[in-house]
Amino acid sequence: MIYDISPVIDAELRVWPGDVPPTREIQSDIARGDLVTQSVLRTTVHVGAHVDAPSHYGVTGATIDRCEVDAFIGPCQVIRVDVEPGQALQPADVRTTLLADRVLFATGTYPDPREFREDFAALSPELLDVLAANRVRLVGIDTPSVDLFRADGLPVHRRAFEHGMLLLEGIRLEAVPDGLHELIALPLRLAGFDGSPVRAVLRSEHA
């Protein structure tokens, strides 16, 4: 069973306020009699399901082309949490044993990527400390950011940098059962960039 956990990237997809939304420019089109159809995509690299490179939140951090590929492929645990919109997940909110070094949190607080909501749930620095103590190397969330919308100084991003933890944001988990899966979320090898969109999928034995 394969679960596609990436939102569709089109003109209706909302990005972080101030970021460049996705637009498509058609340079040539078979329907117009051209030999091939050829398009140009213009948007932020933090669009849809995307990975933040450490250089996005740390001045000495690795750019996305320098991140180890194996961090984005392997055993992954999906954990559904009961959290109110606008709240930061605390360690006490995670009521299950951590079983994998990649963890994705399903909060259900950002149901429609075509509508940007500021009251999505996020993570807390204290939770990242617990994840790091359990050797988690990548953490993901079904909201636009691991930090709350109005977080001062991006404390969760900074704590991720301290722990050497990679971040996967903007994923869709509403159809995915809790438990263990295999994550495949490869970023593009963009030299010098601070992140990359991904086609994130989970491969699972769950029906």
Question: How far apart are alpha carbons 179 and 99 in whole angstroms?
Answer: 9
Is 163 annotated as catalytic? no
DSSP 163: H
Contact present, 7 and 172 (Cβ < 8 Å): yes
> Domain limits of the chain?
2-203
What are the tens digits of pLDDT across the range 98-139? 999 999 999 999 999 999 999 999 999 999 999 999 999 999
DSSP characters for 79-131? EE----TT-EE-GGG--S---SSEEEEE------TTS--S---EE-HHHHHHH
What are the tens digits of pLDDT across the range 23-40? 999 999 999 999 999 999
The catalytically annotated residue of 50, 56, 157, 181 is 56
Is pLDDT above 80 for 207? no
What CATH architecture does domain 2-203 belong to?
3-Layer(bba) Sandwich (3.50)
Q: Is the dihedral of CA 18, 89, 104, 54 positive or negative?
A: positive
